[in-house]
Chains A and B, each alone.
Chain A
Amino acid sequence: MVKPVLLEEFVATGKIRFVTRHYAFLGPESTRAAEASECAAEQGAFERYANLLYANQRGRNDGGFSDVMLTHIAEFIDLDAADFETCLTSGRHLTTVEQDVDDAIDLDVRGTPSVFVNGAYVTPADVSTVVAAIEEALGGSSP
């Protein structure tokens, strides 16, 4: 995965800012997981929650990210389960997730992960290509 490498080599050294946005396009559980991550963010745990979602990826829309499972994951990292459940049930972050997806479509994003460096689309989004784009944006300096 690209993100862990970038966090360690570039974010930790203050060279880049890393922004995560949703492109939930693989079905209802994609959208629900994205909403759940926003609920975790309400409790200051977006990154921890997102890491667990990645670690628990299974088949598409097969129950791996059902509401029950999403709440279990929240409990696993000691989030307030009641608040999390209330948030998820309310659907109050659905618009936010949908807005990210709309923006992604406007930007012609067609798969995940899709990476932009200072606004420029980088493809393929593998480590070496993204690192090369970052180094070019940094003026050729190494991490």
Chain B
Amino acid sequence: MSNSLDSYLVLSGLLFAIGTFGFLARRNAISMLMSIELMINAVNLTILAFGAFVAPLRVHAAVIALLVIAVAAAEATVGLAIVIAIFRNKKTPLVDEYDSMRD
């Protein structure tokens, strides 16, 4: 089981689906950012699984995964800063109460 590419890809698909559910269903903005992190991790797992099983992609996959981790760190920093800035104005972290543009 651990020597088959399919099991890793299915695992990453399930993780991505869990992240999708969290992003669509949660009300808290930070929970949505956490779900985005889960989805990025699922994509990273896909990249590394292909790298581990397809010989020509081996080193490229590791480098790309490292770059993805760095970009995800930048994304988390800016996303959380935006959430904190909105929280300072609205006094709530719940996204369905950010409705001031609806009027």
Q: Does B bind A?
A: no
Interface residues, chain B, with chain A CB atoms under 8 Å away: none
